[in-house]
């Protein structure tokens, strides 16, 4: 058996945790409490298929930590779902929320199905039954545990969840806050769909804007002109590619599970996505060259590699062949601990998933706050801001005798709407988190990599919460 398979995903997370814990001051007992999953709910329930047969569905919900309430974490539909994976993802959520200063504990859920093999009606029945099981055990609620979309789920499933919850909790005025990632019409927030990919961009951009960090990688400051390879053209990979391209980087390769392509002149993610919709994969995209193997894209020479699919795609077996100077982990756990060691030896900077893909939970936090406040962001101040900006601009033009052109006038007069405020809050969150992690890394030269620095930051914040609560005097 190869080295990378000697332990599970959860054990891999624990290994990274233990590696970082050595650089903290906390009592071993506190560290053990932080590391442990507090609650694991494994369930089985029957569902009647469209053909009349009965199928028993396996599902999970794990609450890793309640140092902050509620718990927060997505629900994935995949036939690869198992308890270990859900525990690992729940623990990563705890650390992720701590790093980006989102006041949630970590949680995760999963249903062991391939959603492509079920009709929409069957998926609705499964989702609603899963929700009712969570309600029975008090594993869901705006102040208890707030799910969100993950791999294999989206707005549709979240709408079913909130509707089921509200029907079982009549009169709960905050029922919409029981889940995030909902359609706008059901209490969702504008900007949620692109949030994770945008967060990946903001995080990498901030790293690229640090001259000393870029000098070590042999790169110039800023993202403009840098070559990017994106693995996975789902929601996260698509939007990551989009924001890098729109800000001057060049996306030279895109990989999917059933094919990969490259074009050194650059690829447009929307055009590739439309080609995928028509043909079923990205292969034979006009102007691009097919890779012999999909995994070859991970080893393609570039400045920035964005793995945005599933875990463990870069491991002891292929890490030595990775030629990227920066790896931005958009997926959960795409690189194993052995890969980290190889990256350290090669001088590759790996920007860790546990904060880099926190854009989703950050904007989910904004959505949750919106649901509790019962008012859309920008509704109270947008027109007031526009009116004030108009008056100020008019006064400046009268005093200066010069007129501002129409494009500049619109920009100056614009009052922030929900999209603007959500994107601004996400940008602020990712910039601050990046700076905090890099500061921890720089403050202790013995910390070997950015992932360990991120874990140190997370451990310190969670442990401080416990200490301030008086749980550990």
Catalytic machinery residues: 108
**Chain position carrying tokens 């989206």:** 154
**Chain position carrying tokens 């140190």:** 456
Residue 78, number of CB atoms within 10 A of its CB: 18
At 149 the three-state DSSP class reads: strand
Pair 417, 361: CB distance under 8 Å: no
Element (H, E) at 351: strand 349-351
Alpha carbons 59 and 42: distance in angstroms, whole number:
6
Question: Beta-strand (E) ranges in 201-258?
Answer: 227-231, 250-256
**Chain position carrying tokens 């949630």:** 104
User: 125-148: buried (b, 16+ CB within 10 Å) or exposed (e) per residue?
Assistant: bbbbbbbebbbeeebbbbebbbbb
Q: 308: Cβ–Cβ under 8 A, 6 or more apart, which residues?
A: 197, 200, 230, 231, 232, 234, 236, 237, 240, 330, 331
Residue 120 structure tokens: 């929409």
Which residues are 76's β-sheet partners? 110
């Amino acid at each position: 058996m190869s080295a990378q398979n000697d332990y599970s995903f959860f054990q891999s997370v624990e290994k990274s945790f233990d590696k970082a814990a050595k650089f903290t001051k906390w009592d071993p007992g506190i560290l053990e409490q932080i590391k442990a999953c507090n609650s694991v709910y494994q369930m089985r329930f029957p569902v009647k298929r469209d053909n009349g047969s009965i199928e028993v569905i396996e599902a999970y919900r794990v609450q890793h930590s309640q140092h902050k309430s509620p718990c927060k974490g997505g629900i994935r539909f995949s036939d690869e779902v198992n308890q270990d994976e859900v525990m690992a993802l729940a623990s990563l959520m705890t650390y992720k929320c701590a790093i980006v200063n989102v006041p949630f504990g970590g949680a995760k859920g999963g249903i062991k199905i391939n959603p492509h093999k079920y009709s929409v009606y069957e998926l609705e029945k499964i989702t609603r039954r899963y929700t009712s099981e969570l309600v029975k055990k008090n594993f869901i609620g705006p102040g208890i545990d707030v799910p969100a979309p993950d791999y294999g789920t989206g707005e549709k499933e979240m709408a079913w969840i909130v509707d089921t919850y509200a029907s079982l909790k009549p009169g709960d005025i905050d029922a919409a806050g029981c889940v995030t990632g909902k359609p706008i019409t059901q209490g969702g927030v504008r900007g949620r769909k692109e949030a994770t990919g945008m967060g990946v961009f903001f995080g990498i951009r901030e790293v690229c804007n640090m001259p000393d960090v870029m000098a070590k990688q042999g790169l110039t400051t800023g993202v403009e002109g840098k070559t990017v390879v994106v693995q996975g053209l789902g929601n996260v990979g698509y939007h990551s590619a989009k924001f890098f391209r729109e800000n001057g980087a060049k996306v030279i390769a895109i990989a999917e599970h059933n094919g990969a392509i490259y074009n050194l002149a650059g690829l447009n993610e929307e055009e590739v996505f439309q080609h995928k919709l028509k043909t079923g994969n990205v292969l034979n995209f006009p102007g691009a060259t097919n890779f012999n193997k999909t995994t070859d894209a991970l080893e393609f020479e570039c400045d920035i590699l964005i793995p945005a699919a599933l875990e463990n795609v870069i491991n002891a077996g292929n890490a030595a062949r990775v030629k990227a100077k920066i790896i931005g982990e958009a997926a959960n756990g795409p690189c194993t601990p052995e890969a980290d060691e190889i990256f350290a030896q090669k001088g590759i900077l790996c920007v860790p998933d546990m904060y880099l893909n926190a854009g989703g939970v950050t904007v989910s936090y904004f959505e949750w706050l919106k649901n509790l406040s019962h008012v859309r962001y920008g509704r109270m101040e947008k027109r007031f801001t526009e009116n004030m900006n108009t008056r100020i601009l008019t006064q400046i033009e009268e005093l200066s005798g010069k007129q501002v052109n129409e494009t500049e006038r619109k920009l100056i007069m614009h009052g922030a709407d929900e999209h603007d405020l959500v994107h601004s809050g996400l940008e602020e969150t990712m910039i601050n988190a990046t700076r905090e992690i890099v500061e921890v890394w720089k403050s202790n030269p013995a910390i070997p990599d950015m992932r360990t620095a991120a874990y140190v930051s997370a451990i310190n914040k969670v442990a401080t919460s416990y200490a301030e609560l008086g749980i550990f005097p």
